[in-house]
Structure 1
Amino acid sequence: MDQLGAMRAFIRVVQSGSFSAAAREQNTTQATISKKVAALESQLGAKLLTRSSRENSMTEVGAVYYESCVAIIGELDEAEAQVRSQQASPKGVLRVAAPIVFGCQFIAPFLSHFLECYPEIKVDLMLSDKHVDLIAEGVDVAIRAKQLEDSSLIARHLFDNPMVVVASPDYLKRFGEPKEPQELRSHNCIVYSMLKSVNIWHFEQAKESDDKISVPVSGNCRCDNGEAILQLALDGLGVVQLPIWMVDEHVKVGRLKVLLSNYIAKPLPFNAIYPQSRYVPLKARCFIDYLKQRLAESPNYR
């Protein structure tokens, strides 16, 4: 039995969700992929997948074995690339996870150019504001607007995500404009529910000062998607705190107004996250380098 080939087949069945999808990727038949996984299970003496007509799910031992397979195959692929040449052409499927708005507004528009630069890479772009388990989902690179909390991962800083507080002219006409952060307590604040400190907004004075201000906020709506929060602000529902690159266009044409200009909202660090391993896959390094370069060229990300 080709154990490495069987391990690769098992990994792709898990990541793609089915034997047929894995077979299409490898230009073979579903029966061939099924035989490889069955042979692997026979050699291990353990059931890795529970099969049904609707889906395939990993068994408990299968989940443990899957994580080991991903690590082994990843290091093997990169070791081979290192031996062939330091200038080896990056290739293979690159699985990238990113927040929905950031992925749509920044990654997607430049993806065609990235693929032109690296024609042997295929990108599987996964957009979700939910937390993604990189190992379980087979993700090579995840973009996250938060501090790294998992010691099994590595973070490469991309930029500090500048935040601003905004509201629509209609809302401000009805409820007045806050001049100090503490006045936000009396306003309807729409919060992003995926943050660790959902109902606390942090500020510093725009002029040089060590004073830090934390304000508990509340409102009649919370949401786990930035684009939806932006729309609620445009509709005049309340005050929101969002990245400047999300609202800049609307501010320029007067649909939103920046509030508390004498204060700086605490920025969120944007990082490229990837699993710890002896070698970082060349395809992942190329993507992170490309992304960091494009961000450096955009004034809203500096």
Structure 2
Amino acid sequence: MDWHKCGQSFIQIVEDQSFTKAATNLYTSSSSLSKHINWLEEQLGVQLLQRTTRKLDLTVEGEYFYEQAKLLLNDWEDLKEKVRSQSNEPRGILTIGISVIFSNLYIAPLLPSLLALYPELKINVRTLTYPLLHNVDHLDLYFSHKSPDFFSVNMDHHVIGQAYLKMFASPDYLLKNGTPKTLEDLSTHNCLMSTGSDSPHAWEFEKGGSIQVTGNFMSDNSSTLVKAAVAGLGIVFTSPLAFNDELEGALVPVLPEHHSRAWTIYAYYPKLKTLPFKTQSFLNYVEDKLRSALK
């Protein structure tokens, strides 16, 4: 047992409000975390947590210990990151939060190549929904199209880039059904619709406005929509990042001069003295990939 490891476990438990979730995020077991908390309480001679079957409450001593331990561990992490940055090799666990649709469209497709590039890095993705009902300050990164005033003042942000949607279909589908020449032609085609959007039947374009579409297939998962398009079911309106190089040629652009209105992709992270090297490396990679794919 040591103060650093047990203190880290305590902080994770408090922020996750669950031994089970904290164990998952720390790649350990709930029983190990219980031993860490018991060790801390024995060493300090006070009770830090009041545990019930439904929730965890901090004692007065536990709240004070959490605040001070958080400061100390942040300073320790700052020191480690300054040393690690000299090796030019990001490592450790990176916890990122992201919405389901946004993850499927923009972030998830980038992760396999990122992990191949940085084998010492581990990524823990948490899918979150709006409105955010819990604190995101303890995440290493949070990706969102929400503007900075939506988030806590404890979060810094970085603009990753601009995003938009474009139309794609399989060559077989276009051979059988013809290729649309104008946006109005979409009314005669089977359009694959995303229920993750506010108006699945209305495709919004930067030039051309709102176009009503119909089709016999819809899903809240962009990967499913892409697979349906590859199978020749219809036209999909999605991010260029939603399919990887393995599908090159399986889908071709439809009306490539038209795309949705662009919106800003933000990356949010806790305010720290030094941005962790693993976080900076991840940001640099994602920003570079998005810029090249969405230009």
CA distance in 2, matches of 1:24, 1:239: 41
1:266 alignment partner, one of 261, 266, 275:
261
Partner of 1:58: 55
Paired AA for residue 110 in structure 1: L
1:158 and 2:191 are equivalent in the alignment: no
CA distance in 2, matches of 1:180, 1:74: 57
CA distance in 2, matches of 1:100, 1:175: 28
What do the CA deviations read for 1:87-136 (whole angstroms, capped 9, x no partner)?
33267532134524655532221224335xxx5xx523326586687736
1:109 and 2:109 are equivalent in the alignment: no
Partner of 1:126: 125
Seen in structure 2, the aligned counterparts of structure 1 residues 194 and 284 have a Cα distance that, compared at 3 Å, is farther
Partner of 2:88: none
Paired AA for residue 35 in structure 1: N
1:200 to partner: Cα distance: 3.0
Contact 2:226 2:243 in 1 (8 A): yes
Contact 1:167 1:259 in 2 (8 A): yes
Partner of 1:32: 35
Structure 1: segments with no counterpart, 5+ residues: 52-56, 206-211
What do the CA deviations read for 1:8-41 (whole angstroms, capped 9, x no partner)?
3334444761687689749x9565235258779x
2:215 alignment partner, one of 206, 212, 219:
219
Seen in structure 2, the aligned counterparts of structure 1 residues 110 and 71 have a Cα distance that, compared at 3 Å, is farther
Partner of 1:143: 143
Structure 2: segments with no counterpart, 5+ residues: 86-90
Contact 2:165 2:240 in 1 (8 A): yes
Partner of 1:77: 73
1:282 and 2:281 are equivalent in the alignment: no
1:230 to partner: Cα distance: 0.5
1:240 to partner: Cα distance: 0.8
CA distance in 1, matches of 2:112, 2:123: 11
1:300 and 2:293 are equivalent in the alignment: yes
How many residue pairs end up in the alignment?
A: 274
Contact 1:179 1:260 in 2 (8 A): yes
Partner of 1:235: 231
Contact 2:166 2:240 in 1 (8 A): yes
CA distance in 2, matches of 1:196, 1:96: 25
CA root-mean-square deviation:
4.5
Partner of 1:10: 10
- % identical equivalent positions: 17
CA distance in 2, matches of 1:281, 1:260: 42
- TM-score with structure 2 length normalisation? 0.68
SS at match of 2:238: strand
Paired AA for residue 115 in structure 2: L
SS at match of 1:274: strand
Contact 1:181 1:215 in 2 (8 A): yes
CA distance in 2, matches of 1:136, 1:70: 17
CA distance in 2, matches of 1:237, 1:167: 8
Seen in structure 2, the aligned counterparts of structure 1 residues 126 and 20 have a Cα distance that, compared at 3 Å, is closer
1:172 to partner: Cα distance: 3.1
Which 10-residue stretch deviates more, 167-176 or 68-77?
68-77
1:170 to partner: Cα distance: 3.4
Partner of 2:185: 183
CA distance in 2, matches of 1:182, 1:138: 47
